[in-house]
A and B are shown apart, each in its own frame.
Chain A
Amino acid sequence: MNDSDPRTTTPLLEVSDLKTYFRTERGTVKAVDGVSFSLQRGQSLGIVGESGSGKTVLSRSIMGLLGRTNLIREGSIKFNGQELMGLSVKEMRSIWGQEMSMIFQDPMTSLNPVMKIGRQIAEPLMLHLGMNKSEARLTAEKLLTDVRIPEPQRRLNQYPHELSGGMRQRVMIAIALACGPTLLFADEPTTALDVTVQAEILHLINEQRVDRNMSLILVTHNIGVVAGNTDVIAVMYGGKIVEKAPTKTLFSSYKMPYTEALMRSIPKLRQASHTRLATIPGRPPDMVNPPLGCNFAPRCAYARPKCLVEEPGLTVTENPEHVYACFYPVGSPEYHERKLELSQRSDLLSTGGQN
């Protein structure tokens, strides 16, 4: 953000035109369809989108965790200047856990149920850092302390089912942090947790990020989750980034009608954690046969004929960090015109009943 900062010159992660397709019986699913962004060391990026928008595939594709059968992956992923695309699984393994690690969505199912916590944390330590058993155990204990698990020593000998969901997610974080990665992926890290625990976990992740000068990619369907925890937010829809901006900018002056819809759907604290974007009518696009024009057009109240036939490219706003993909963004004359029509129509609808 500051051009004079030397760090900005060599981004930690640079993704260019990343495409990730799956061959299925129905046809090719274009789960990620040309995504580009870069991330500086220590910076945090939130990727927001509905389920099916390709955000989880994007994070796993960057990390290279997708199975290789029936997968098409193109583009470029530069990590610390090294091109990851084309590396073998074997070469990736030295990066996984050590340089990049990931916190998964469901702590209930993401920990091995038949392995003690201690061993699960120690495993990457012994593998990547060459620690012996007792060193790894000591480090594991320290990690558990770092993620604020009480009685860490006792926990090491417990099995996952003996811990609460929040505890388990802390264990996951401890595992992900174990080898001091420079890039941490957190894929819906709080979705499966109680609302009260969510904030604590998010706070913990962010705190650790700052402490360890890590970069973070936080994937979520809940734009509210990323609000206070990321530097930049990228909104994904139909396998593409449709808007990207520094967090504050996005919240103050989003351009995409889709982002607007996401903003409206931020779950209130009282609501169940799994409430999806019920307020956006329609369904996400079919990724096998995406719409001809703007992916969001079929669901967009502000769409015009042009949106249905022509795909909008990314437009840069006056703030060079803020890009969006829309012909008639929020604030444009067409937007206002349509908004007026809509409010009138809803008036008509609300009064029409009396006719």
Chain B
Amino acid sequence: MKFWMQRVAMAILLLLSVSALTFGAMNVLGDPLFNILGPLAGDVNNPKSAALIEEVKAKYDLDKPLPVRYVKWLGDFATGDMGVQFSTDGQPPVSGLIKERIPRTITLLIMAQLLAVMISIPWAAITAARAGKRSDKISTMNSFFLLAMPNFALAILLKYIFSLKLGWFPLTYKAIDPYFERLRQIFLAAVTIALPAAAVYQRLLRTDLITTLQQDFILMARAKGLSRSRVIFRHAIRPSMFSFITVVGLNTGGLIGGSIVVETVFRIPGIGSSLVESVLREDFPVVLAIVILIALAFVIINVLVDILYSIIDPRVRR
């Protein structure tokens, strides 16, 4: 119980410092007034603009000191009010944007993570069973290739081969298409995120599997007459999953990072591409909201990893 309390306290502290840093940086480095008003913000000599500037300053508390604004923003955020988008016409609420976009990113990440896991486990199993043989060496080269290849390059390559040349997947994401059609549209993007991740997972799981395969209980399982695949999948995989699960969990954060590039390349209007755009437009409320959400996702994932541990290995249960 104390353990969980500590976790929660740490999480809150983390979120507070991330938000304070981001809030401070965005406000110090940029000019929120300009982001709301555009060039009118600099037109102080014109009484009409000046009045507008005062009005905006009052409305968004821009005349108050930074800590006061931070506390107010924090209070609003905690109650679900993420403020308004500065850069979009009419300044609609940020929460609307997030609500619209987050399901796409989550779908993309889940699909990518599932693909990565689904690819990496059999891949690791095959290579571990053939450790040191030629097929294993070729696979090692492949995985280093995938790891070394930048996300955007892989994205373009996949797009070129599977969309342009083969025409298996559509090139565009269209938010109005039916759900399953959209799943098909984000598939290549998910693969782009999944492949390098799968390579990492495979390297790791392969090493652990090789260790596990030397264990006595594997010999025991073989002596029962079980087939090789059954020995690997039923007996060897699960005890080899610890570092795998940790890395899969922690890497979800990395995938969020990857999704920023990939969403932009595949033009999927999700959280990642939103972050890029809002940074370029200096749309502080959007950037802040997304950064906090990503931090929150990290925290939640870490807790989930802890819980998963105890499910996988009965020995860590208390």
Are B222 and A65 in touch, CB under 8 angstroms? yes
For residue B47, CB closer than 8 A to chain A, the reply is no
Closest CB in chain B relative to A113 CB, distance in Å = 6
Given contacts A114-B314, A161-B314, contact A95 B219 (CB under 8 A): no
**In the complex, what residues of A have CB within 8 A of residue B313's CB?**
113-114
For residue A106, CB closer than 8 A to chain B, the reply is yes
The contact string, 1 if C-beta is below 8 Å from chain B, for chain A 109-132, is 111111100000001100110000
* B interface residues with partner A (beta carbon < 8 Å): 132, 215-217, 219-228, 234-235, 238-239, 312-315
Are A115 and B235 in touch, CB under 8 angstroms? yes
Closest CB in chain A relative to B74 CB, distance in Å = 44
**In the complex, what residues of B have CB within 8 A of residue A172's CB?**
220
Distance between Cα atoms of A97 and B222 in the complex (Å): 9
Are B222 and A96 in touch, CB under 8 angstroms? yes
**In the complex, what residues of A have CB within 8 A of residue B221's CB?**
112, 123
Are A161 and B223 in touch, CB under 8 angstroms? no
* A interface residues with partner B (beta carbon < 8 Å): 63, 65, 69, 89, 92-98, 101-102, 104-106, 109-115, 123-124, 127-128, 159, 161, 172, 175
**In the complex, what residues of A have CB within 8 A of residue B234's CB?**
115, 123
Are A104 and B225 in touch, CB under 8 angstroms? no
Distance between Cα atoms of A91 and B79 in the complex (Å): 67
**In the complex, what residues of B have CB within 8 A of residue A110's CB?**
216-217, 219-220
Closest CB in chain B relative to A109 CB, distance in Å = 4
Q: Can you spell out 30 A-B residue pairs with CB atoms less than 8 angstroms apart?
A: A89-B228, A93-B227, A97-B223, A97-B224, A97-B225, A97-B226, A98-B225, A101-B224, A102-B220, A102-B223, A104-B219, A104-B220, A104-B223, A110-B216, A110-B219, A110-B220, A111-B217, A112-B220, A112-B239, A113-B239, A114-B313, A114-B314, A115-B234, A123-B226, A123-B234, A124-B224, A124-B225, A127-B225, A128-B225, A161-B314
Q: Which residue of A lies closest to B218 (CB)?
A: A112
Q: A112-B239, A127-B226 are in contact. List 9 more A-B contacts (CB 8 A).
A: A63-B223, A93-B227, A101-B224, A113-B239, A113-B313, A114-B314, A114-B315, A123-B221, A159-B315
Closest CB in chain B relative to A112 CB, distance in Å = 5
Closest CB in chain A relative to B310 CB, distance in Å = 12
Q: Which residue of B lies closest to A99 (CB)?
A: B225
Given contacts A93-B225, A97-B223, contact A104 B314 (CB under 8 A): no
Are B225 and A95 in touch, CB under 8 angstroms? yes
Q: Which residue of A lies closest to B221 (CB)?
A: A112
**In the complex, what residues of B have CB within 8 A of residue A65's CB?**
219, 222-223
Are A161 and B315 in touch, CB under 8 angstroms? yes
Closest CB in chain B relative to A158 CB, distance in Å = 9
Distance between Cα atoms of A224 and B315 in the complex (Å): 36
**In the complex, what residues of A have CB within 8 A of residue B226's CB?**
93, 97, 123-124, 127
Closest CB in chain A relative to B137 CB, distance in Å = 14
Are A109 and B315 in touch, CB under 8 angstroms? no
